[in-house]
Amino acid sequence: MISKCYLVEPFVCNENDSIADVAKKLKEYAQRHIFVVNDNKKPVGIISVTDILDKIVVANKNVADFKAKDIMNKDILVFDDSEQVKGAYKAMVEKKITSCAICDHDKGDEIIGILTLKEALRCLTSPEHI
């Protein structure tokens, strides 16, 4: 089960945050991407530094005109912490991504952590899973 894996503390912004605030947060914490959540803390998207560059800077758009929900990628992987690690690992490999959002269904699908590809593999190959 995913709940037995080590989850990284979720790095998130709200879908209504300004892109300027999102960019500042990414820089301040030296991160390359951030999960976007709604007011209920449910993950609804992800924004990378590249998204900000391509969709705002290179496109010569006014950063003040955009919120996180306007440029986020909605195609994210989200798993409940009660699901099997193997399914999350397989989905990450197939989509060629290195992390996915983990939620707690009992908390209204609130994000509780991030499962990395490396941690999923470690969990799958640990003695208790073999």
Q: Where are the alpha helices (DSSP H) in the chain?
A: 19-28, 49-52, 68-71, 85-95, 117-125
Looking at residue 126, its pLDDT comes to: 83
Q: Compute the distance between CA of residue 101 and CA of residue 7 in angstroms, rounded to an integer.
A: 9
Looking at residue 106, its pLDDT comes to: 82
Looking at residue 32, its pLDDT comes to: 92
Contact present, 83 and 92 (Cβ < 8 Å): no
C-alpha closest to that of 75 among 97, 52, 107, 90: 97
CATH code reported for the domain at 2-125 = 3.10.580.10
Looking at residue 107, its pLDDT comes to: 79
Averages of pLDDT over runs of 10 residues in the chain (130 residues) are 92 96 94 95 96 92 94 95 95 95 88 95 80
